[in-house]
Structure 1
């Protein structure tokens, strides 16, 4: 007999694999809502939920609701409500590229495994992300199902993305709302289930994301794609090396330079349509911010410096898995092929001075 969560995921999978675009969107919204419900259960007293409304009045309410076997909704808990802002709803799972590598919340219990992600010291209200385990009272059932082929949502979402790209005459015809929501859900899956990141070690899977990073794609899609790409790469050196093999650094840097050129060109072309131009320029600048955040993440050294010495981390060294670990210096040389050296130097200087990822004494 299937659990409630399995039935919920069955409904979602059926819809997102439909040939009907509206059905696909409904399935993506149901998955989005599932993540939200789990976050609310894990953080019922979160200050971001100050403004509340009844679950039944939520426009994102679906016919399929998830009652965790370990944490079922009771009459008293059925009024758990949603934030009035969909962006606030996912401030923990769907955060910008830099913060999503550490993310925000301690969803797992105190006796869960230590945080394997980089420690990021930001504001006092930011908490360290701990990846939930199968024993987690809220996320555990979902995590366990992700280990199965049938219910691995990363695989299903990639199939939907591949189908959407193949059915479009050009990637520029992709539905920005539906594709952005798919990418946000993908990011959540990868943060909750790091094992799924291995899927992107295969070039044809990672290329699906890289194909979305060009100036012909709607800015909203690009903005959602970059954090998803970070979530696929964090602490997975095989995916990072695949990213490099596919000319990922060039794609990212070209995107930054292309958007910078368009910033000045479009502002002149759209003077008669000021509101539209302002919105477009806002999106372009947000893309630039996302790209810069990605570059900060990419420049993280993948192996710690030798202890007891002042020697810098070696340019490259191999891990026990035989995969190269690059230092910041090694990655700088890669980026210098596509960016002005002064730009790269400035990025590294900011990374070392502000230390958004802590001391970065980490080993991937």
Structure 2
């Protein structure tokens, strides 16, 4: 796995678009191997897959299954070190691609990089802590600028959700960098596409959800760790996925020093957007993310 990552990182650091695309495909292939299991096909599915009319795609694994998968455990372990952290490399690629201006081929590479970054942040939740740093959060906010194409803006919003998920520290960084101003300004622009505006509303629903505490990280002073000192033994991998909206208890109260309630965030969002109360009421009624808002 280290060899594959080394080759893909070399390609991702290239200035040649074809090599960058190859590096992205190699990372995508690695993630696909981790997330898909061919061994769980039933006998009937295996027989159908051998028929000339088509093949049966391998079923996706659940996060619980991944925890017991040797390949995933090895991948997770490698992500704890700076040298093999995929999220860091993808962020670096985004920085280079963003500096090249907007054109069709470059935009497609940015979108592919964002899509992969979403997957990596879901597979390795501790990597989300990278976005507690202003330089990396600013990168996502730059990708939401009106000059970028709608597809990039939509992919960036999904990546932003993934980066903020279960990580109030990142949300505070987002707020301090006027992320809400960026999001609401894009929403108010007449030139913003309908698709992006729908994504922006979805993001605001997500933002207004009450928060759960950040996933705890180990000794931040430990040497040779990922950028923020992330280090976790394989036996603790399951804890990275243990948080859910329903497991956090009463969301009407702050659950920690860095977590905020819906009412708190409603007040902040109200500085930039009118009728936030309507959003909150709709959030309470529909519970789009499966949780409760009090």
Shared fold (TM-score, shorter chain, > 0.5): yes
Q: The TM-score by the shorter chain falls in which range?
A: 0.7 to 0.9
Are positions 1:31 and 2:27 aligned together? Answer: yes
Given that 1:171 and 1:212 are in contact with CA atoms closer than 8 Å, whether structure 2 keeps it comes out as: no
Which residue is equivalent to 2:232? none
Deviation for aligned residue 1:186: 0.5
Which residue is equivalent to 2:3? 7
Which residue is equivalent to 1:262? 191
SS of residue paired to 1:215: coil
Given that 1:232 and 1:239 are in contact with CA atoms closer than 8 Å, whether structure 2 keeps it comes out as: yes
Higher relative CO (Cα under 8 Å, sequence separation at least 6) belongs to 2
Cα distance in 2 between the residues matched to 1:29 and 1:204: 26
Pairing of 1:283-294 with structure 2 (within 5 A): 284-294=193-203
Structure having the higher helix fraction is 2
User: Which residue of 143, 154, 157 corresponds with 1:212?
Assistant: 143
Deviation for aligned residue 1:340: 1.5
Given that 1:296 and 1:351 are in contact with CA atoms closer than 8 Å, whether structure 2 keeps it comes out as: yes
Given that 1:212 and 1:225 are in contact with CA atoms closer than 8 Å, whether structure 2 keeps it comes out as: yes
User: Which residue of 335, 350, 355 corresponds with 2:282?
Assistant: 350
Are positions 1:233 and 2:149 aligned together? Answer: no
SS of residue paired to 1:164: helix
Cα distance in 1 between the residues matched to 2:293 and 2:70: 31
TM-score, normalising length from structure 2?
Answer: 0.76
Deviation for aligned residue 1:171: 5.7
In structure 2, the CA distance between the partners of 1:146 and 1:80, relative to structure 1 (3 Å rule), is farther
In structure 2, the CA distance between the partners of 1:213 and 1:174, relative to structure 1 (3 Å rule), is farther
Given that 1:43 and 1:107 are in contact with CA atoms closer than 8 Å, whether structure 2 keeps it comes out as: no
Which residue is equivalent to 1:68? none
Pairing of 1:160-179 with structure 2 (within 5 A): 160-166=93-99, 168=100, 170=101, 175-179=106-110
Render the CA deviation track for 1:307-341: whole Å, top value 9, x for unaligned: xxxx9825xx572xx42x21111111111111112
Which residue is equivalent to 2:118? 187
Which residue is equivalent to 1:140? 73
Given that 1:302 and 1:327 are in contact with CA atoms closer than 8 Å, whether structure 2 keeps it comes out as: yes
In structure 2, the CA distance between the partners of 1:44 and 1:178, relative to structure 1 (3 Å rule), is farther
- Give the paired residue count: 252
**RMSD (CA atoms):** 3.2
Which residue is equivalent to 1:40? 36
Pairing of 1:1-364 with structure 2 (within 5 A): 5-41=1-37, 44-45=40-41, 106-109=62-65, 132-133=66-67, 135-166=68-99, 168=100, 170=101, 175-258=106-189, 261-262=190-191, 284-302=193-211, 313-314=252-253, 317=254, 319=256, 322-323=257-258, 325-341=259-275, 344-360=276-292
* Unaligned 5+ runs, structure 1: 55-78, 84-88, 93-104, 110-131, 264-283, 305-310
Cα distance in 1 between the residues matched to 2:202 and 2:114: 17
Given that 1:172 and 1:216 are in contact with CA atoms closer than 8 Å, whether structure 2 keeps it comes out as: no
Cα distance in 2 between the residues matched to 1:106 and 1:12: 26
Given that 1:215 and 1:255 are in contact with CA atoms closer than 8 Å, whether structure 2 keeps it comes out as: yes
Render the CA deviation track for 1:38-63: whole Å, top value 9, x for unaligned: 222278559xx99x989xxxxxxxxx
In structure 2, the CA distance between the partners of 1:218 and 1:53, relative to structure 1 (3 Å rule), is farther
Deviation for aligned residue 1:361: 7.7
Deviation for aligned residue 1:33: 2.3
* Unaligned 5+ runs, structure 2: 214-249
Given that 1:303 and 1:313 are in contact with CA atoms closer than 8 Å, whether structure 2 keeps it comes out as: no
